[in-house]
Structure 1
Amino acid sequence: MSDNPFGFGLPPEEPENGDEGKEKGKGNQGGPANPFGFGGGAGGADNPFAAMFGSLNPNDLGAAFQQLGQMLSYEGGPVNWDMAKQIARQTVAQGTADGTRDESVGPAERAAVEEAVRLADLWLDGVTSLPSGASTAVAWSRAEWVEATQPAWKELVDPVAERVGAAMGGVLPEEMQAMAGPLIGMMRSMGGAMFGQQIGQAVGVLAGEVVGSTDIGLPLGPAGKAALLPLNIEAFGKDLGVPKDEVRLYLALREAAHHRLFAHVPWLRSHLFGAVEGYARGIKVDTAKLEDAVGQLDVSNPEQLQEALQQGMFQPEDTPEQKAALARLETALALVEGWVDAVVHEAAKPRLTSADALRETLRRRRASGGPAEQTFATLIGLQLRPRRLRDASRLWASLTDARGVDGRDGLWEHPDMLPTASDLDDPDGFVHHEQLDFSELDKMLGEAASRKDGPTDEPGAKGEDGKDDDSKGDDGK
């Protein structure tokens, strides 16, 4: 995981042979080609605004400067989401690395997705006590995924960006802030643009890889709407040697299982998103570096602005608060993914000959640094650990064997009942401990039920024979 999860302030690589500015296609080489010092990536290798401005030929200059003016006059929240959506959509339009371009979903694919989700829900009924959470099933193009998931990205990213934006606006003494109002406003606009560019690029790349609305373990799409991306599913199964229908059905099982969990565990979504907010509250921006940079900033000198940004003055520090929040989020996501992995395997194993192969393919995809890890590392500094996923899956499977489906799923009733990070290190110990705890609980509930039907323990209460229950022993004392 990078020490700079947002990719801001990364210095450009030194050009080879001292031929500055002439090397092309090698990340951020040739500093002036990247005026804001962002990390490179799909859709804007040398110029982060290339996705908006195109090749910057003379015919495009008017539109380019108009868009630049709109960017600098932005007065919205901490992230310029209009820019983010525009860059994400244009990144999608450029196609993936293998040359696959986005396309509209036809009626046949939509019908196939609806049928796969319907069948998946039917299979899941036998392996979980949680009822269906998907009221509709939809097939999305990549662009439709970008549009549908933007509200969730706002909820995830805005708290983080807000803290950085506040630091940018508060670096000057209060008595100077009124005089420097235009500069502060420009800095905030630039901050919103920086986040918008980075997030738009990350979401656009992710749209070319995800197969549904829950790939990263969070409910990114609308509630109750199970979604699959046929174009990405085809790319996912291309070299697996598995029939396309089986690939689609297995992925539909995972999508439907996620929706059951998020629909019927009401506290789960806020718990996960709250961990992200907790991370944002722990952000400590290096205000000393920021003050120094702002104090020496000449806004008429683009090269100086570029150099200041490259020095990393917006880089959040790695604080104990952030580490604790990310640990909570990582554990919760591992439990979600582990539960889905366990119930989907239980549903698919007796019905799909490719169940084991597809399960292992998805696990390896996660282990090799799939889209979820890359996007979280970019946006909030989180990298899911595959070991946690496997441990969580084994724990849920052991709980199923020990307590049955109802007992396993009952742990989702309250966050305090869930396994912790240390429990994932010793799944068998947690299962054994839970068995003892629930045996004691059953005993207590049985005793409470017998007292309800028989004499009570309250002083002065009447038993079934009408006598006081205060009498103790055979001697009436």
Structure 2
Amino acid sequence: MLRQMGLVGDDGELDLNAIMQRMQQMQASGRMWGITPADQDPDAAWRTTMTSAKQATEAQGPDPELMPHEREAVIDAERLAQSWLNEFTAFDNPGLPARTITRSQWLDGTSAGWRSIVEPIIEGLGEALQRSSTEGAPEGMDFGAMMGPLMKTSASLMYRERLKRELTKVARDTLTGTEIGFNLFQGTGVVVVPSNIAQFTENLDADDTDLMLVLLLRESARQRLFHQVGWLSPQLLALMTHYAREITIDLDAIAERLSPENLQSMSMEDIARIGEEVQVSFFRPATTDVQMEILDRLGVLLALVEGWVDHVSGRAMEKWMPHAGRISEVLRRRRAAEGPVRSVLKELIGLDLSPRLVRDAENIWAAIEHDRGIEGRDEVWSHPDMVPNARHLEDPLSFTSDGESASDDLDEELRKLLDS
């Protein structure tokens, strides 16, 4: 094929000059190997990704909206859940009305939030692929200028295709607006997806009204946390962006699988299988020590969020819904299972939130409340440097003792300052 295209010389070797000329012609035409100008426009590419995800979601089954009286019942239940929470958290109710949405509306509502999370990763992946592909280029060839934009756009297209499949699965699985641990809805209150809740309860031996109330209680607690703790969402996004900057890709390992010696003995099925493995390797790039540290910090912060929600909602249920313990356990098992909600961050960045870490986080919030009360517990969220770290999750008592030590040290320094 290369010979027919005039890219192989009479000696059987690739004619690099001919390749350069051909690629320049393709770039000038505005289309290169199936990549259109629209693919290189971030806004257009994102709209295409979300539209494809919505179409794939709609193709998998009906997604009806609730009747007006059903929506009113959800709004009333959310008000009840909010009144219960007032006793068990110092964070105020944002005062925004609850909403019931369809799966497609969930995709529309979270589109901007998803974009803020994944675009730094797409950019980091493209930059890493561009760097890796232009290293060791033949002398005298501006390989970076020739291949760089193509590699970045190719990485973006592959990642967006993967993202579309993941979002389609999550849209048909998520029960509430912030169940994945990120607040992707901006300026909104409690959000539930009734179609997914109905699907979840089909084979569940639990009262539908009780389940909805428990979900609303948990979602209301999470919304209060994100609404009151202004640094939380930006910190999560900053960690994701830092992770993206550290992406590296081992193209040597990929090239080794596709070396001419190996290709000669491969069938078309083998080549297709390796092609799939190559794409997977782009989404699971080689992790650096810095990336591992970032993922650990991100995992701890998400665990603290979920542990706080478990603790606060559990305290409210203990008083007002003592019979709902089984529902809470079902939701814990759901979170621990390899479902789409848990797997989306694992597939996109390799983050696997450990159920044990969430249990440890719940324990530490209980210990802090026991030591400092509800006001003191929620005050811990006032600054990112004040929240527990991984060491504290392993030993909750170490956090309260650290706090006492820090307070004593501060008092001593203030005393010296005043005396002088």
TM-score range normalised by the length of the shorter chain: 0.7 to 0.9
Secondary structure of the 2:89 match is coil
Whether the 8 Å CA contact 1:71–1:193 is kept in 2: the answer is no
| TM-score, L = length of structure 1 | 0.70
CA drift of 1:288 comes to 4.2
Counterpart CA distance in 2 for 1:388 and 1:134 is 31
The letter for the 1-side match of 2:191 is A
Check if 1:334 corresponds to 2:303: yes
Equivalenced residues, count: 375
Whether the 8 Å CA contact 2:123–2:156 is kept in 1: the answer is no
Check if 1:424 corresponds to 2:393: yes
Residues 1:236 and 1:307: Cα distance change in structure 2 (over 3 Å)? closer
Counterpart CA distance in 1 for 2:287 and 2:181 is 24
Counterpart CA distance in 2 for 1:294 and 1:253 is 53
Higher helix share: 2
Counterpart CA distance in 1 for 2:298 and 2:385 is 14
User: Sequence identity of aligned pairs in percent?
Assistant: 32
User: Residues 276-355 of structure 1 correspond to what in structure 2 (within 5 A)?
Assistant: 276-288=240-252, 310-311=277-278, 314=282, 315-355=284-324
Secondary structure of the 1:318 match is coil
Check if 1:133 corresponds to 2:94: yes
Counterpart CA distance in 2 for 1:169 and 1:292 is 18
Check if 1:80 corresponds to 2:45: yes
Check if 1:366 corresponds to 2:331: no
Residues 1:107 and 1:262: Cα distance change in structure 2 (over 3 Å)? same
Secondary structure of the 1:350 match is helix
CA drift of 1:308 comes to 5.5
The letter for the 1-side match of 2:198 is E
Counterpart CA distance in 1 for 2:44 and 2:169 is 18
Counterpart CA distance in 2 for 1:367 and 1:311 is 29
CA drift of 1:72 comes to 7.2
The letter for the 2-side match of 1:386 is P
Residues 1:394 and 1:310: Cα distance change in structure 2 (over 3 Å)? closer
Whether the 8 Å CA contact 1:93–1:101 is kept in 2: the answer is yes
Whether the 8 Å CA contact 2:249–2:285 is kept in 1: the answer is yes
Q: Relative to structure 2, which stretch is displaced further, 230-239 or 332-341?
A: 230-239
Decide which of 162, 167, 183 is 1:219's aligned counterpart: 183
Decide which of 103, 106, 114 is 1:145's aligned counterpart: 106
Which has the larger Rg? 1
Residue number in structure 2 paired with 1:168 = 129
Check if 1:272 corresponds to 2:236: yes
Residues 1:425 and 1:292: Cα distance change in structure 2 (over 3 Å)? closer
Counterpart CA distance in 1 for 2:294 and 2:43 is 21
Counterpart CA distance in 1 for 2:291 and 2:44 is 21
Question: Which sections of structure 1, spanning at least 5 residues, go unmatched?
Answer: 1-67, 297-301, 459-477
Whether the 8 Å CA contact 2:89–2:378 is kept in 1: the answer is yes
CA drift of 1:437 comes to 4.7
Whether the 8 Å CA contact 1:87–1:197 is kept in 2: the answer is no
Counterpart CA distance in 1 for 2:318 and 2:93 is 20
Check if 1:356 corresponds to 2:321: no
Residue number in structure 2 paired with 1:401 = 370
Counterpart CA distance in 2 for 1:255 and 1:413 is 21
CA drift of 1:432 comes to 4.2
Residues 1:128 and 1:175: Cα distance change in structure 2 (over 3 Å)? farther
Residue number in structure 2 paired with 1:102 = 63
Question: Which sections of structure 2, spanning at least 5 residues, go unmatched?
Answer: 1-32, 261-267
Counterpart CA distance in 1 for 2:155 and 2:406 is 51
Counterpart CA distance in 1 for 2:274 and 2:44 is 22
Residues 1:79 and 1:192: Cα distance change in structure 2 (over 3 Å)? farther
Counterpart CA distance in 2 for 1:228 and 1:349 is 23
